[in-house]
Structure 1
């Protein structure tokens, strides 16, 4: 390996890192970059030789774990045979044809086709264009607005970034674009009125959505995009009855449902797709992350029969479908995805996520539910969060300047556990690889307990 100090200087001098305080990084105030050199199972290793449990599977994506040679071999075979060819004008490859059929069969709802990209962001850009295209083709040119939700995450590009319902993705970036609206966040803990049940809260959120659509004009609203479970917005499962109530509103107003399954898809919730867990019937499905477990970039916009039939019927009138990227359907990415799905099926990772996920949820609740600074422990499958508050009884948040969530995350990392400090609150998030064992869950929870205790002690000293 090259000299570590040389690599650090090279990186600091040349790489524009996402979600990094640029001045602190450039001056060294925030420390050097972590040079990740390897990984095996649920652990990664850095250039100093230190090992970490990756309690967040990269960015929710390394579902099959690190170091799977089966995927590396599939990538190599495809690269040796054919490293690249495009999929324009009806060109394809063996791996792409096989993968498309697999996804159509796996996906929730009545799906017909898959458009491939490279990231969840570009897939959601595609979804927006499909909504606009579909409504143009059926003579509804005004029906174009897309409703997302506060704290929903749908990407960082222009329209996907606009659909993301977190202001710091918009600040200084001239987002959101016009025509993108945001409905209320479905988080019962913070959003419910005193004494309001989850079912009543869900009905209220649905009524608010209905009122928003009516106010804008139903003939101007084309789609509603949402994650089955909020991901980056707090790892928050929907309250009881939420998706039943929401879908009734969408059907009433002929509004398409885009299920953003980038995080929830491929077993993360204990079902193949989060939509299946909550009886969602999407018209469009967005996939990425777990599709290749991060081994290669790949995303998909899965299109229902309802939408595709309109597109095909209009083809003689409008000509070719004019959308695509140089790397749409990249053969190496498709080969990686098929190898990952082979492992996914062979090792029954969805069933494993359901079983071990239930164990993770139970252990977190046992360990944190009665801790003074913990307001809520929540999650489903292998998605989980612990949210910290200054006052449990009054549901009072900590002063953001205290950075409690970030401090707990750092204390965990100092002990060899990567658990993410989530935005929009003091939240410690977990999304480990689906191959995790119950013994490894115990390791994660034990480290998290130590980290929380350390920060609690610090807060007590600071009060004196």
Structure 2
């Protein structure tokens, strides 16, 4: 790509520092400048149109250009553009959205606390776990169990619960209160000749052995995504979640389910906890809560979790935490309208109806000589790529992702996989278009690497 002086690309390279990139590389190459979006499509500043196969960052449930969300945002801006929820004050949109979240939660819940991102929500949930342990007099019960390959954000606490080296290296993370157990992806970590049932038993033994090693009296909570997203769309093995919950109950350890990616229809149910039979104490949500039209996240908690925290705030005199934008009226108004649209248009049902076609399309792609296997649930999936013997890890998947972009499809390569998470509004015909672009990209890369 030739970058002209004073172009938008040149100004971006000169002034903006980007997340999740090689910064020196970005200074030389720049990035793709997206200017507009419509439905499942986005268009760059040269006029090229792409299918957004990852829904932005796993998040634009309604697709791009939903006018009802723009209208609600404008109306709320004009009525009350900002107010806070500090010091015994509140406003209508946050009340209405909190009520809806409690009512649609997959298990009985009590209260909702709003934040602005998944990282922020997981970070606060961690603080609340520690606050609650202190409230109960369990001063040593502070450790958090995350999982290898799990992703929960990039703040100091949420980044420490995350189990990905790229989010730890050179940041002095993880904190020593955070420990990690095995990743339950049978495809990646099953031993030769090991059945899936035996793999699940080994994963559960790893978890219980870690608890006993650290001391159950020191462990406060277990964090887990129902399906691991940013780790590469990693599916839990059969029986895994039932076994995990039995172990946590045995040792009085809280369960925090991170549904930042999975929530609000992605798996064919409103929440992945319903799909996989998970009954959490705390549910963390973001992304599809507002289709990412506004920064918004929420911590939904049951009464067992909430009551000791409320008691401690009464003893101290205050719950000493808050963000300026917590429960922002424009964000919560947009979130409320977004969830209404998901319900009115039966987009959760759309996912359930399209799941067979989506997973079947991935399975067909897995027959390509460059592919290894496929996996997924609902409209969340991955195509595992065979690594190249003469290249670095992940190079094959990166080459295919780049070829997909050339074909007019934006997806994401993670490790040896290319991952898919299209907007919930996608149609059967558009799934064919998306996977057609992948098939062409696979052939292009195969020919170039022959």
| Cα distance, 1:74–1:280 mapped onto 2, change above 3 Å | same
Q: Which residue of 2 aligns with 1:38?
A: 36
Q: Which residue of 2 aligns with 1:417?
A: 409
CA distance in 2, matches of 1:161, 1:175: 7
Structure 2 counterpart of 1:372, from 369, 386, 402: 369
Q: Which residue of 1 aligns with 2:432?
A: 442
Q: Which residue of 2 aligns with 1:92?
A: 90
User: Does structure 1 retain, via aligned residues, the 8 Å contact 2:365–2:383?
Assistant: no
CA distance in 2, matches of 1:4, 1:250: 58
Give CA deviations for 1:91-129 in whole Å, capped at 9, x if unaligned. 111111000000111122221111111000000001101
Q: Which residue of 2 aligns with 1:241?
A: 239
5+ residue gaps, structure 2, are none
Residue correspondence of structure 1 range 112-131 to structure 2 within 5 A: 112-131=110-129
User: Does structure 1 retain, via aligned residues, the 8 Å contact 2:387–2:394?
Assistant: no
User: Does structure 1 retain, via aligned residues, the 8 Å contact 2:216–2:251?
Assistant: yes
Structure 1's consecutive aligned runs of 4 or more residues displaced over 4 angstroms after TM superposition are: none
CA distance in 2, matches of 1:311, 1:177: 23
3-state DSSP of counterpart to 1:111 = coil
CA distance in 1, matches of 2:393, 2:255: 38
Shift of 1:4: 9.3
- For normalisation by structure 1, the TM-score amounts to 0.94
Structure 1 counterpart of 2:157, from 159, 182, 189: 159
Structure 1 counterpart of 2:228, from 219, 227, 230: 230
Q: Which residue of 2 aligns with 1:18?
A: 19
CA distance in 2, matches of 1:95, 1:221: 36
Give CA deviations for 1:285-317 in whole Å, capped at 9, x if unaligned. 100000000100001111111111222334432
- For normalisation by structure 2, the TM-score amounts to 0.97
User: Does structure 2 retain, via aligned residues, the 8 Å contact 1:374–1:386?
Assistant: yes
Shift of 1:402: 7.0
CA distance in 2, matches of 1:87, 1:204: 46
CA distance in 2, matches of 1:157, 1:133: 18
User: Does structure 2 retain, via aligned residues, the 8 Å contact 1:398–1:404?
Assistant: no
CA distance in 2, matches of 1:439, 1:305: 45
3-state DSSP of counterpart to 1:429 = strand
3-state DSSP of counterpart to 1:67 = coil
Give CA deviations for 1:49-100 in whole Å, capped at 9, x if unaligned. 1100000000000011110000000000000011101100221111110000
CA distance in 1, matches of 2:6, 2:33: 11
Shift of 1:398: 7.1
Residue correspondence of structure 1 range 63-462 to structure 2 within 5 A: 63-368=61-366, 370-390=367-387, 399-400=391-392, 403-422=395-414, 425-460=415-450
User: Does structure 2 retain, via aligned residues, the 8 Å contact 1:267–1:349?
Assistant: yes
Shift of 1:455: 1.3
| Cα distance, 1:51–1:196 mapped onto 2, change above 3 Å | same
Number of residues paired by the alignment? 447
3-state DSSP of counterpart to 1:90 = coil
User: Does structure 1 retain, via aligned residues, the 8 Å contact 2:128–2:309?
Assistant: no
CA distance in 2, matches of 1:90, 1:204: 49
| Cα distance, 1:302–1:55 mapped onto 2, change above 3 Å | same
User: Does structure 2 retain, via aligned residues, the 8 Å contact 1:108–1:282?
Assistant: no
